């Protein structure tokens, strides 16, 4: 049902792109808009992971730089029956994380420096397991392609605005009024579709991530800590690229007081409640796959300020 829902939502977005193209240029405009959407999806298929990582200022790390982090990701990936993803660190103090890549063979997990300071090992393992669940479910491709289409719809909305303001087409398609309506409602509709996909996927990734790490309460604790801290620390790269917000485990943007209808993620308290219910049914427990690792300090260059977290000083 999840895949069917995603297919329907993306089909609706494609229809929206074509409708806006029709308002701009009739049948020819609809065809051109469809071609643009298709080209954008193809580009996202091959380049979305690199583009998002570049936008966020991610730094690829090796085992020599972060042995505990790499060993933890490797252990959890093995437990999830996934290939070892590339591991990146984001140079921001906001605790957060995301995954990207078109398939499990070309995937990456990115964590911020802030999250390695705020969370303990079990909590960080829960976050990484959540991101690996997105990779396992192939959510990373779905969310990135959807974000690309949402961007295309917003672009078409801007084109309609200028067309209406500066004497564009004014025939039986509604003229300036249709342009104004499309300009206002199309980006909102695209955003709602993207958010609906994100909300559905986050619940499922929480559930599967808790199964991978074997400790749903650790993931619940991590979500509580991240949610509290994310609203206090600005993530500048994410603020500059708000379309990527749905990819993070917790909304990285500071528009946190907006109505929940426009939230990119489910309410954190709802996610925590589900994880606690899962633990109460017997989902809590299991040995952590990194438990026997020797403590080795990370040598990732700090973004500023003392590194007082469980990973040692840089």
Give the pLDDT score at 44. Answer: 67
- Contact 119/127 with Cβ under 8 angstroms? yes
Give residue limits of the domains in the chain: 2-283
Give the pLDDT score at 247. Answer: 85
Q: Which phi and psi (to 5°) does residue 7 adopt?
A: -60, -45
3-class DSSP assignment, residue 290: coil
- Contact 84/128 with Cβ under 8 angstroms? no
Give the pLDDT score at 266. Answer: 87
d(CA 229, CA 118): 9
Give the pLDDT score at 94. Answer: 95
**Looking only at Cα atoms, what is the longest distance across the chain?**
72
Residue 277 marked as a ligand binder: no
d(CA 17, CA 39): 13
Give the pLDDT score at 290. Answer: 46
Decide the pairing of beta strands 86-90 and 58-60. antiparallel
User: In tens digits, what is the pLDDT along the chain, a chain of 314 residues?
Assistant: 555 655 666 677 777 777 777 777 778 878 887 887 777 667 766 776 788 898 899 999 999 999 999 999 999 999 999 999 999 999 999 999 999 888 899 999 999 999 999 999 999 999 999 999 999 998 877 776 676 666 667 677 767 666 655 555 545 455 566 566 666 666 666 666 666 667 788 999 999 999 999 999 999 999 999 999 988 899 998 888 777 788 899 989 875 444 444 567 888 999 999 999 999 987 554 445 544 433 334 555 554 443 434 444 33
Give the pLDDT score at 304. Answer: 43
Q: Any idea what the Cα angle at residue 275 is, between residues 272 and 276, rounded to 5°?
A: 85
3-class DSSP assignment, residue 129: helix
Q: Among 306, 89, 115, which residue's Cα sits nearest to residue 228?
A: 115
Q: Among 87, 47, 92, which residue's Cα sits nearest to residue 239?
A: 92
Give the pLDDT score at 258. Answer: 44
Q: Any idea what the Cα angle at residue 119 is, between residues 205 and 126, rounded to 5°?
A: 25
Q: Among 140, 246, 155, which residue's Cα sits nearest to residue 193?
A: 246
The DSSP call for residue 138 is T
Q: Among 282, 129, 273, 123, which residue's Cα sits nearest to residue 208?
A: 129
Cβ-proximal residues to 211 (8 Å cutoff; 6+ apart), any chain: 283
Give the pLDDT score at 287. Answer: 46
Residue 239 marked as a ligand binder: no
Give the pLDDT score at 74. Answer: 96
- Contact 106/126 with Cβ under 8 angstroms? no
Q: Active-site positions?
A: 131
């Amino acid at each position: 049902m999840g895949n069917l829902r995603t297919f329907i939502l993306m089909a609706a977005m494609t229809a929206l792109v074509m409708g806006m193209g029709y308002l701009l240029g009739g049948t020819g405009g609809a065809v051109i808009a469809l071609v643009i959407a298709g080209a954008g999806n193809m580009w996202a298929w091959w380049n979305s992971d690199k583009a998002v990582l570049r936008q966020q200022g991610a730094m690829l790390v090796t085992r020599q730089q972060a042995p505990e982090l790499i060993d933890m990701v490797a252990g959890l990936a093995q437990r999830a029956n996934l290939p070892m993803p590339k591991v990146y660190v984001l140079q921001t103090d906001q605790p957060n994380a995301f995954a990207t890549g078109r398939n499990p063979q070309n995937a990456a997990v990115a964590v911020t420096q802030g999250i390695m300071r705020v969370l303990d090992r079990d909590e960080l393992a829960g976050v990484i397991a959540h991101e690996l669940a997105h990779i396992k479910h192939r959510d990373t491709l779905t969310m990135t392609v959807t974000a690309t289409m949402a961007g295309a719809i917003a672009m078409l909305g801007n084109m309609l605005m200028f067309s209406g303001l500066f004497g564009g087409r004014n025939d039986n398609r509604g003229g300036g009024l249709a342009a104004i309506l499309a300009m206002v409602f199309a980006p909102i509709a695209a955003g709602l579709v993207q958010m609906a996909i994100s909300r559905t996927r986050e619940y499922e990734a929480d559930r599967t991530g808790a199964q991978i790490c074997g400790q749903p309460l650790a993931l619940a604790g991590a979500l509580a800590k991240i949610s509290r801290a994310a609203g206090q620390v600005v993530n500048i790269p994410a603020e500059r690229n708000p379309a990527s917000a749905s990819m993070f485990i917790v909304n990285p943007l500071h528009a946190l007081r907006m109505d929940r209808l426009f939230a990119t993620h489910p309410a954190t308290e709802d996610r925590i409640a589900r994880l606690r219910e899962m633990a109460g049914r017997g989902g809590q427990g299991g040995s952590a796959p990194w438990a026997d690792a020797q403590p080795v300090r990370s040598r990732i260059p700090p973004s500023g300020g003392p590194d007082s977290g469980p990973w040692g000083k840089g």
